[in-house]
Amino acid sequence: MSRWNELLPRLAQVPRENGTVALHQAANFLRETLEASGVDVELIAFTATPWALRLAGVIALAAGLLCFEMMRSGRYGAAIAVSLAIPALLVAELEFHQPVFGWIGTQTQQHVLATLAARAPLQRVIFTAHYATKTDLLDPIEPAPGRCWPMESRRRR
């Protein structure tokens, strides 16, 4: 596992947006590479909603335009109802993960869980990395730098 400088360029070749074939290929590459290094690897399926944020933006814009038109035509009660519904729908979808409109285009994707045997059984290190790319707002091709954070390191009791 000391070949990180050889492995990272392979993961940085193409953007891996949520829901793309490139993301699926990256998960398989990570699994195969880790297994070849003798690491126990498990794939954990989850339901991804790659279109949720884009749909949220379109729905918020459409509802805002509808609210504007209702205000212009004097339908103030309906405009207030729409203006209250916009944040309620967005909070339900994005914060409470209720599939209001995010169910459109859902896909099953894989978390890659690798378990490395500890040299001393009193140690446990949990390390997590995000292997999907975050692209810049106006540049869908050039990926922004990836990030990894150690999440937890503690002694077992």
Q: How many domains does the chain have?
A: 2
pTM score = 0.59
Same domain, 123 and 112: yes
Q: Do 127 and 150 belong to one domain?
A: yes
**Which one, of 100, 96, 20, lies nearest residue 60 by Cα?**
100
Residue 18 has a pLDDT of 74
- Amino acid in position 87: P
Q: Which helix (H) or strand (E) holds 35?
A: helix 21-36
| Position 6 confidence tier, pLDDT thresholds 50, 70, 90 | confident
Averaged pLDDT for residues 52-77: 91
Chain segment 16-32, per-residue pLDDT in tens: 777 778 888 888 888 89
Assign 78 to helix, strand or coil: helix
Torsions phi, psi for 121 (to 5 deg): -65, -5
Q: Tell me whether residue 100 is in a domain.
A: no
Hey, what long-range contacts does 58-64 have (CB within 8 A, 24 or more apart)? 59/86, 59/89, 59/90, 59/101, 60/86, 60/90, 63/89
Domain range for 41: 4-50+106-155
Considering the domain architecture, whether residues 112 and 145 belong to the same structural domain is answered as: yes
Q: In the listed set 41, 65, 94, which residue is the last one of a domain according to the structure? A: 94
**Of 4-8, 35-39, 55-59, 64-68, which has the strongest mean pLDDT?**
64-68
Q: Tell me the per-residue pLDDT of 106-151, one tens digit each, with 9 for 90 and over.
A: 888 888 888 877 777 776 666 666 666 555 554 444 444 444 444 4
**In degrees to the nearest 10, what's the CA dihedral of 147, 151, 153, 154?**
180
| 117 lies in the same domain as 44 | yes
pLDDT given for residue 53 in this prediction: 81
User: 75 or 94: whose pLDDT is higher?
Assistant: 75
